[in-house]
């Protein structure tokens, strides 16, 4: 489904990711954990096509096709979704209008007709209920004046509406209270199936209590230094990263 082969990438000439390889099968959840500055967000950015980062070697194979040279919008249309650690606020761009543009853009790519206003509202409202999101936020500017929890819920709402094949959650749990974290996890679990895969970037094991991973990787200094099952996350929670060196 999604394979990373010997990926090296960096920013401003500095190498951050060093020959990383991952094989994520359909339906799997892979957790990426690691200390600050280890390259977790860089990896999320590189997969989603952020041109701040430069890929210097390797492949990103999505359904067998190397996507590393594609524009971010094409990757999104193919089914790659990044839930941002810091969702951008854009005042003046109505949240509903943005969702409509996004949904219909992806539908157009898939050769589907655009959703009309009634179907669109019905779809969005049904998804909002899943994550207990305030409907008033639809009429506001995109993430404009949203609290941290509201922004993260909005990310999950977009994920639910766009139904991507590969979801990357970049520290989606950061800054969330327990209820908000549970709502986010409920959203993710609502669309888990045997075809959809997840990369969950997190510092804390708590999110993984709600979204059970199949594989846990530890990223350190731009390299995957260890992989294991859920018990690895429990060990990190208990002992930190000191024992790895």
* DSSP 8-state class, residue 165: S
Yes or no: say if 104 and 112 are a contact pair by the CB < 8 Å rule.
no
Q: Which residue of 95, 158, 202, 205 would you call a contact of other proteins, by CB under 8 A?
A: 158
Taking the complex as a whole, the smallest distance from the CB of residue 110 to other proteins amounts, in Å, to 10
Each residue 183-222 as x (binds other proteins by CB under 8 A) or -, in order, gives ----------------------------------------
Element (H, E) at 180: helix 178-190
CB atoms under 10 Å from CB of 11, counted, come to 14
Report d(CA 214, CA 206) in Å as an integer.
15
Taking the complex as a whole, the smallest distance from the CB of residue 80 to other proteins amounts, in Å, to 8
Report d(CA 50, CA 33) in Å as an integer.
21
Q: Which residue of 49, 58, 187, 222 would you call a contact of other proteins, by CB under 8 A?
A: 49
If one asks whether residue 156 binds other proteins (CB under 8 A), the answer comes out as: no
Task: Tell me the residue length of the chain.
Answer: 245
In the numeric block, the tokens 């994550």 are attached to: 131
Element (H, E) at 223: strand 223-228
Q: Which residue of 162, 216, 224, 236 would you call a contact of other proteins, by CB under 8 A?
A: 162
If one asks whether residue 102 binds other proteins (CB under 8 A), the answer comes out as: yes
Q: How far is CA 19 from CA 34, 201, 236, in A?
A: 16, 18, 23
Site residues for other proteins, window 61-90 (CB under 8 A)?
A: 71-73, 75-77, 81-82, 84, 87-88, 90
Each residue 134-153 as x (binds other proteins by CB under 8 A) or -, in order, gives -------xx-----------
Residues that bind other proteins (CB under 8 A): 48-52, 71-73, 75-77, 81-82, 84, 87-88, 90-93, 98, 101-102, 105-106, 109, 141-142, 158, 162
């Amino acid at each position: 489904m999604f394979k990373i082969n010997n990926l090296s990438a960096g920013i401003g000439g500095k190498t951050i990711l060093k020959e990383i390889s991952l094989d994520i099968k359909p339906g799997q959840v892979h957790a990426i954990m690691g200390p600050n500055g280890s390259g977790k967000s860089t990896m999320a950015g590189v997969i989603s096509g952020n041109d701040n980062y430069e890929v210097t070697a390797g492949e990103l194979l999505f359904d067998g096709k190397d996507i590393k040279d594609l524009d971010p919008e094409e990757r999104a249309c193919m089914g790659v979704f990044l839930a941002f650690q810091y969702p951008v606020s854009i005042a003046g761009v109505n949240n509903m209008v943005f969702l409509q543009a996004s949904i219909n853009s992806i539908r157009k790519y898939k050769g589907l007709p655009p959703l009309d206003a009634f179907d669109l509202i019905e779809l969005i409202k049904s998804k909002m209920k899943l994550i207990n999101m305030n409907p008033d936020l639809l009429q506001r500017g995109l993430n404009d004046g949203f609290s941290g929890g509201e922004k993260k819920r909005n990310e999950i709402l977009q994920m639910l509406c766009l139904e991507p094949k590969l979801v990357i959650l970049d520290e989606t749990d950061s800054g969330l209270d327990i209820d908000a974290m549970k709502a986010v996890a409920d959203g993710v679990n609502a669309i888990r199936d045997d075809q959809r895969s997840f990369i969950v970037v997190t510092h804390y094991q708590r999110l993984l209590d709600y979204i059970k991973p199949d594989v846990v990787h530890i990223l350190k200094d731009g390299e995957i230094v260890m992989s294991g099952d859920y018990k690895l996350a429990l060990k990190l929670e208990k002992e930190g990263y000191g024992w790895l060196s």
